[in-house]
Amino acid sequence: MNWLEKIPYPLLIAAAVFMLGAPFLPEPHLAEKARMLAEGRLTRPLDIFDVAWHLLPTLLLAFKFARGRRAPPVRDGDTG
């Protein structure tokens, strides 16, 4: 996943914030889809894709953060 390491954090953060709130008016898609899920109406493939599309930058950001928090591998000769 070397391509993910090349994407700067500020760009991923901006994309995540934007996609979580888009469209901002009349209400974000994710709020609408969460209500549909709670009511048991989130069944159409297009609605499920829409949730995945709006969550993608946030998931990429979380994955990049988790990979960055991993301890680097210990090489031969390292004492620390």
pLDDT per position as a tens digit, 21-74: 999 888 888 999 999 999 999 999 999 999 999 999 999 999 999 988 775 666
Answer for the pair 29, 19: CB distance below 8 angstroms, yes or no: no
Q: Where are the domains of the chain?
A: 2-68
Residue 20 CB coordination number (10 Å):
15
pLDDT per position as a tens digit, 2-16: 898 899 999 999 999
pLDDT at 68: 83
pLDDT at residue 79 greater than cutoff 90: no
pLDDT at 80: 54
Answer for the pair 15, 58: CB distance below 8 angstroms, yes or no: no
pLDDT at 72: 66
